[in-house]
Amino acid sequence: MIDEGLSKTGQGTTPEPPESTVSEAAPAVPPAAAPQPGEAASAGPASPPVTVPGLDDCSLYINRELSLMAFNIRVLDQALDESCPLLERLKFLLIFSSNLDEFFEIRVAGLKKQIAFAREQAGADGLLPHQALVQISGVVSAQVQRQYAILNDVLLPEMARQNINFIRRRNWTPRVKAWVRRYFCDEIAPIMTPIGLDPTHPFPLLVNKSLNFIVELEGTDAFGRDSGLAIVPAPRVLPRIIRIPEEAAGPGDNFVFLSSMIHAHADDLFQGMKVKGCYQFRLTRNADLSVDEDVDDLARALRGELFARRYGDAVRLEVADNCPQHLTDQLLRQFGLSELELYRVNGPVNLTRLFSVTGLDSHPELQYRPFTPCIPRPLQNIEDIFQSLSRQDVLLLHPFESFTPVVDLLRQAAKDPAVVAIKQTLYRSGANSEIVDALVEAARNGKEVTAVVELRARFDEESNLALASRLQQAGAVVIYGVVGYKTHAKMMLILRREGEDFVRYAHLGTGNYHTGNARLYTDYSLLTSDEALCEDVAKLFGQLIGMGKALRMKKLLHAPFTLKKGMLDLIAQEAQHAQEGRPAHIIAKVNSLTDAKIIKALYRASQAGVKIDLIVRGMCCLRPGIPGVSHNIQVRSIVGRFLEHSRVYYFLNDGGEEKLYLSSADWMERNLDRRVETCFPVEGRKLITRVKKELDLYLHDNAQCWVLQPDGRYVRLAPTGHQVSRSAQSVLLERLTSASDSGVLR
């Protein structure tokens, strides 16, 4: 019998020790050596003049797919961070798997599509898709081996010491074996459909990322067939991890993998035949939807495309590492894949199903301590949010500060007789969210409710179709955005009659209207009644819902019209200040930095002498620390308990009136050129000072911070000497969840 593979350790593949601080994914293009952050330039003999490359030189740019893999590696490294609770470390390892799935479904699939249609295009880094795929395969293969080594050699043994056990078949006691057999016969076998392969039984069409087994057989069946091969798909309704009751396995949290059960009882599925081998595999397919937007009904077209997503072109094959070569070769031929797209794994092929274990009620000590987000003082114990917002803007930093005030504002608007109309964008919220509940209530109460629902939010299309239908049934007007541009802006506008006048109130955010994400992602929310800003929001809704030319805004920058130019102008202004000998400083906090025009503008600003601090969570195509080009730029990435998601843009502006913006947009081509996005100012010394202090926390983090090197590597910072460990997220948790003040960071 073939085991699920978890026992195959000790073969020379071991995880890097926790103190390892280097993460590699981007190809090394070694520019001239430059001082690292905090390192003084060495004094010595004069060096020969440095040749400064032109700003179009591909050596100045990192490939975006390889940079994204570098981020995923930083996530995986968290699984070795002993300062994290054990089950949270497991969660990071599983997030790596989930991220890798999407990486292949979207990014790798996109590269393969370019090759298939002979439309290969190189980015600013000069790497063609077929060249990138070779490098991706090498990086991913090494990291997948490392991931399973971390699971098998580190996490599972540590979990076993905490009496959380995944019992391997070789360790099944007679009681466990008996229980497994009953469970298999009662719950698994009745819904299994083994498929013998022969001319009348062709290879089945397998669903994207489904668990399957290729079975090698010996003998003939009742009809005399002896093809020797069968495919066993595991129905998706079956759990991949099954808890064994205490009466069978004893005390503790004891689990067994579905794959183990099927391996153990494969003979039962082929009566009278001999099973020579049973090996699990999983196929990943292209999951990027291709919807023709030149249709009469986008929602109907999208519904049809959602089914096709399950059966897109093959992009990756994962097989158990004990699967014989002739069987893997047959699978590769069947799916039209090469060895480059084959990944052998030492364990279950779909680790994401282990997420069900990370929240065990029996082990709260192995998880992050829960916390209660605070409510800022201006919004505490008030009956009328509108009255509070008429006096001052309120800025919230989630998840440290509660998302509840945003929901409460909408709930109050739904009930308030003075509220006439509500307009809102919905990108990711969930069909049954509190936000949608409030909009439904408002529509039923006779408010004029208009929702701009982005149906094409990746992997939320089905949910958004459901919430659009729900809002329409309640009487709301539902708009699907603009053809050719995803509506990614996060904004809400409420129109309220106060006396003889209409007064507008707005919410603008960097994150989605999703209460679950607001507990996991760091994002800013601005609640305001600022007349000019609310008027800008009203104009933008008018552009989305109606027709007409782009209107001039007073405060708001918006893509695809003014946001990119506005950012380029602000960067150029800092460069001019530096050239004139005045103070100049840029701080940008984004999820990704890939736009070549923005990168070139930052390079020019660095050359002019602007100090540039970039906090880039994920992809970063800019190379910092290159003499004569980016020597004034530092790039750091924060990976911690919460997903860093806020976008913040700070410009010193000659030390006079500092300019600070929050945005729904990253510095990416898609955000700046092909999406509807907002970028809104934070005004008033008090709020600007607060956000600047919060940025400073990230710039001084030495506990969860990775610093990008000129050659594309990331080096993790750690306290040295007498330094105190500083984690921005931990400080914010302590300060903003322990007490609530006027919104100023203490």
Same-domain check for residues 621 and 655: yes
- 181 lies in some domain: no
Provide Rg for the chain, Cα atoms.
28
Q: What confidence score (pLDDT) does residue 462 get?
A: 79
Answer yes or no: is 616 within a domain: yes
- Determine the Cα–Cα distance for residues 19 and 11; give it in Å rounded to an integer: 22
> Are 464 and 301 within 8 A, CB to CB?
no
What is the mean pLDDT of each successive set of 10 residues along the chain, which is 746 residues long?
Answer: 35 41 50 39 55 94 97 98 97 97 95 92 95 97 98 98 95 96 96 86 91 92 76 94 95 96 94 91 87 55 61 94 96 96 95 93 95 92 92 96 96 97 91 90 96 80 84 92 88 96 97 92 98 97 86 94 98 97 97 98 98 98 98 98 98 91 97 96 96 98 97 95 94 77 39
Q: 381-407: b or e for each residue (b if 16 or more CB lie within 10 Å)?
A: eeeebbebbeebbbbbbbbbbbbbbbb
Please answer whether residues 427 and 458 qualify as being in contact, where contact means their C-beta atoms are separated by less than 8 angstroms: no
Tokens linked to 652: 């010193």
In a domain? residue 165: no
CA angle 249, 254, 258 (to 5 degrees): 105
22: phi then psi, degrees, rounded to nearest 5: -110, 130
Q: Is 491 part of any domain?
A: yes
Same domain for 575 and 445, yes or no, is: no
Last residue of a domain, one of 501, 523, 551: 551
Q: Note whether 512 and 644 are same-domain residues.
A: no
Question: Could you give phi then psi for residue 190, rounded to 5 degrees?
Answer: -60, -25
Nearest CA-CA partner of 429 in 490, 476, 380, 382: 490
Give the model's pLDDT for residue 223. 67
If asked whether residues 579 and 459 sit together in one domain, one would say no
Domain match, 424 and 470 both: yes
Tell me the C-alpha to C-alpha distance, in Å, between residue 286 and each of 102, 241, 364, 521.
Answer: 9, 26, 38, 27
Residues 631 and 491 reside in one and the same domain: no
Which residue is listed with tokens 């579905």? 258
Alpha helices, H only, 309-350? 325-335
589: domain range? Answer: 558-738
pLDDT given at position 45? 54
- Does this model's pTM top 0.85? My answer is yes
- Residue 557's nearest CA partner among 645, 658, 676 is 676
Using CA atoms, how far residue 263 sits from 5, 132, 162, 180, 278, in Å, is 11, 37, 27, 12, 6
**CA-CA-CA-CA torsion sign (181, 187, 190, 191):** negative
Q: Which amino acid is at 543?
A: Q
Type of residue numbered 353: R
pLDDT digits (tens, 9 = 90+) for 358-368: 999 999 999 99
Q: Which of 482, 388, 417, 448 is nearest to 676 (CA)?
A: 482
For residue 253, being part of any structural domain is answered with no
- Of 94, 54, 697, the C-alpha closest to 353 is 94
Name which of 543, 602, 154, 147 is nearest 345 in CA terms: 147
Query: Rounded CA gap, 453 and 572, in Å?
Result: 35
Instruction: Return the H-helix or E-strand segment holding 341.
Output: none
Inside any domain, residue 21:
no
> pLDDT tens digit string along 677-718?
999 999 999 999 999 999 999 999 999 999 999 999 999 999
Q: Which residue, 498, 522, 551, sits at the end of a domain?
A: 551
Q: In terms of Cα–Cα distance, which of 454, 452, 525, 450 is closest to 495? A: 450
Q: Which of 488, 507, 577, 645 is catalytic?
A: 488
Instruction: Name the residue type at position 550.
Output: A
End-to-end CA distance of the chain, in Å?
Answer: 62
| Domain count within the chain | 2
Give the Cα separation of 462 and 458 in Å (integer). Answer: 10
Place of tokens 């077929």: 130
3-class secondary structure, 96: helix
What's the gap between Cα 505 and its chain centre? 31
Distance CA 394, CA 238 (A): 47
What's the confidence (pLDDT) of residue 38? 39
Check residue 654 and report its DSSP letter. Answer: G
Query: Of 527, 551, 575, which marks where a domain is finished?
Result: 551
For residue 436, what are its two tokens?
Answer: 């949608």
Helix axes 563-579, 596-608, angle to 10 degrees: 10
Examine the domain organization and report whether 498 and 571 are in the same domain: no
Q: Is residue 108 part of a domain?
A: no
Contact of 726 with 701, CB cutoff 8 Å? yes
> Which CATH number goes with the domain that contains 438?
3.30.870.10
Could you give the 3-state DSSP secondary structure of residue 660?
A: strand
Is the CB of residue 42 less than 8 Å from the CB of residue 113? no
CA dihedral 544, 545, 546, 548 (to 10 degrees): -10
pLDDT of 35:
38
Q: Are residues 529 and 583 in the same domain?
A: no
What pairs with residue 506 in β-bridges? Answer: 493, 528
- Burial of residue 655 (CB within 10 Å: 0-12, 13-18, 19+) is exposed
Would you call 263 a catalytic residue per the annotation?
no
Amino acid (1-letter code) at residue 50: V
Residues 539 and 679 in one domain: no
**570 shares its domain with 714:** yes
Contact between 74 and 618 (Cβ < 8 Å): no
CB 194 within 8 A of CB 390: no
Residues 727 and 605 in one domain: yes
Residue 262 vs residues 180, 184, 206, 379: alpha-carbon distances, Å: 10, 8, 18, 56
Handedness of CA 109, 111, 115, 121 (dihedral sign): positive
Residue 716 backbone class (left: φ over 0; alpha: ψ -120 to 50; beta: rest): beta
Return phi, psi of residue 78, to 5°: -65, -25
Within this chain, do residues 476 and 452 fall inside the same structural domain, yes or no? yes
How many whole angstroms separate alpha carbon 724 and alpha carbon 702?
A: 9
Question: Which has the closest alpha carbon to 407: 370, 438, 429?
Answer: 438
Task: Judge whether 192 lies within some domain.
Answer: no
